[in-house]
Structure 1
């Protein structure tokens, strides 16, 4: 682990997805994220933060987020889907009990945060509306 990472932590962008169908999402940035934080602890941090984050509309604050998936790493490839990468769930879903580091989260990683049931429905029927 790099000295800067240990001292400063990671910068992680969390993509809050409220609706896959309507492409309703907001990005929030978290600084000084400890890479040895568990996935559950990070989810709790995000849920608490968005309750009071300025400029975030109420529907995003109250949504029942319960799953995270790696979306993009710095200098990596992005998906063609504007909402979420629907492939490689086994590899990209953050697993409970794992740390962010074990899950492949690095500095400047983008993580999608969403309700798993809605994601599964979207994967089965990937229709988007405006």
Structure 2
């Protein structure tokens, strides 16, 4: 068993509007698959009273590593658009094999929305 760790999951509702909320997930088993972890996070998010309904009911389906403990952080406010081939977590992989470790920060978002944003990365700012 690779062990249980604590990770932060950044729930991304909108890349253009920079709309996200971080949540902490404790006792994460690194031997579970990414799909199993996604199911756990979806259940957790749907029942968290501290999150507004738009975050609880969103169509999250993709996870990407944003930051590892003691590593460098991106200058992007939401997440980096680089290195998708190594940082997006493959569904059938275990979390450990995908590179998740204690204090890893990940983004959880709609893969379709990410693809659209990546093709035309612009922010919408409201004053």
TM-score (norm 1): 0.93
Partner of 1:36: 31
Partner of 1:52: 47
Aligned residues: 125
Partner of 1:76: 71
Q: Structure 1 stretches of 5 or more lacking a match?
A: none
Q: Deviation at 1:52?
A: 1.1
Partner of 2:110: 115
Residue among 24, 27, 45 paired with 2:19? 24
Higher helix share: 1
TM-score (norm 2): 0.95
Tell me the C-alpha RMSD between the 2 structures: 1.1
Over residues 9-56 of structure 1, what are the superposed CA-to-partner deviations in whole Å (9 max), with x where a residue is unaligned?
110000000000000000000011000010000000000001111210
Partner of 1:85: 80
Q: Structure 2 stretches of 5 or more lacking a match?
A: none
